[in-house]
Structure 1
């Protein structure tokens, strides 16, 4: 019982840091907006997570929480871009279904790639950072790819 209580006390600050991990959405929006047509890997991906990390601390939990927070914002953009692309493709018979199948395939690829990123570190603390960064990068790239699929 005493060990369990000590573990809970030890994790309390970690939970507080993770909850404070918030990214500036305007940094991510600017990154998306400023990426030139055809670009899928602008240097600004991860910038909001870096700013967040400076506020919450460069701990494993802080770094991975900030990357997850940025990934969540990129996911919001991705969903918006998926809908806009699907709406534009609705004019072409069958292509909306192809886009949906591609998106499902992309989700499986992202999940498998990020599981590899996690598993590579065999229980080390770096695994959560690697997995969170993988998810952020994949999601940002896919949001830009979806935008690039549409006609200007």
Structure 2
């Protein structure tokens, strides 16, 4: 399931050097806020990672780390939106359970899609970037979907 994540970490010199690759969370939050009216695929997904790449470089390792850093920011938004949606749905019997089942199903679908993104490159260096990008895009869209569930 996470087979594509390990090659990035295993080849990464960053932890040994003590550096922390990160993105500006406010860029991700601004992207999240700009996607209104039910939109779940704004053009700004990946922008924070591209800014990070400008600082960290265009190597396969740096690109992967920047994409994973943006994914982490989107994951924090996803968790926030899941909690807010779950709290709102708690008023309606069984709706919270359906949300939990849907989230579990979404995780399985995301992982399967991103496994395909990884396997398509059959050992090439692009496979880790492809899988990391898949993870980021799915996570961003799901955060937006969860927010949209609460809107009338």
TM-score relative to the length of structure 2: 0.88
- Give the structure with the larger helix fraction: 1
Question: Equivalent residues in 2 for 1:1-152 (5 A)?
Answer: 13=13, 15=15, 19-151=19-151
- CA deviation map 1:50-73 (0-9, x unaligned): 000010000100111100000011
Task: Give ranges in structure 2 of 5+ residues lacking alignment.
Answer: 1-10
User: C-alpha distance in 2, partners of 1:12/1:88?
Assistant: 41
Task: Give ranges in structure 1 of 5+ residues lacking alignment.
Answer: 1-10
Work out which of the two has the higher radius of gyration on C-alpha atoms and give 1 or 2: 1
> Is 1:74–1:139's contact at 8 Å kept on the other side of the alignment?
yes
Q: CA 1:139–1:17 in structure 2 vs 1: closer, same or farther (change >3 Å)?
A: farther
Count the aligned residue pairs: 142
How much does 1:12 deviate? Answer: 7.2
User: C-alpha distance in 2, partners of 1:80/1:12?
Assistant: 29
> Is 2:12–2:61's contact at 8 Å kept on the other side of the alignment?
no
Highest RCO, 1 vs 2 (Cα 8 Å, sep ≥ 6):
2
TM-score relative to the length of structure 1: 0.88
User: C-alpha distance in 2, partners of 1:112/1:13?
Assistant: 28
Q: CA 1:93–1:61 in structure 2 vs 1: closer, same or farther (change >3 Å)?
A: same
